[in-house]
Amino acid sequence: MPGEDATKGVRPLTSVELLDAAIWREIGSEEPQPAAAFVDALSTLVGRWLLVRSDTPDMDAITLICQTRGCIERGISEQKRTNFDAPEWARNAFDEGVRYHGPR
């Protein structure tokens, strides 16, 4: 209806969805990608962000790595580890919930 708020009923993106979109933008392709492409894109994004936002990007990167490792370890102990079942991740793999429930 005219005059109504156009954003009504639209939910904000989650932090994971925003990060996923940023990674796909960094990759610059809608085609399926090997897992290494995501690690490379994420490291580029984090590195660039640290260069812009941090007074000590090298030290903050080390701190980030250590804290990330801790979060991963806690997550593994809290729930079963899940991985994608293909060596390539499709653009919509997160939306479709395509997962592999086994050891890495």
Residue 91: band (very low, low, confident or very high) from pLDDT cuts 50, 70, 90: low
Cβ atoms of residues 87 and 35 within 8 Å: yes
Instruction: Compare 54 and 92 and report the one with higher pLDDT.
Output: 54
Spatial CA neighbour of 92 closest among 17, 28, 26 = 17
Residue 79: band (very low, low, confident or very high) from pLDDT cuts 50, 70, 90: low
Could you tell me the pTM of the whole model? 0.64
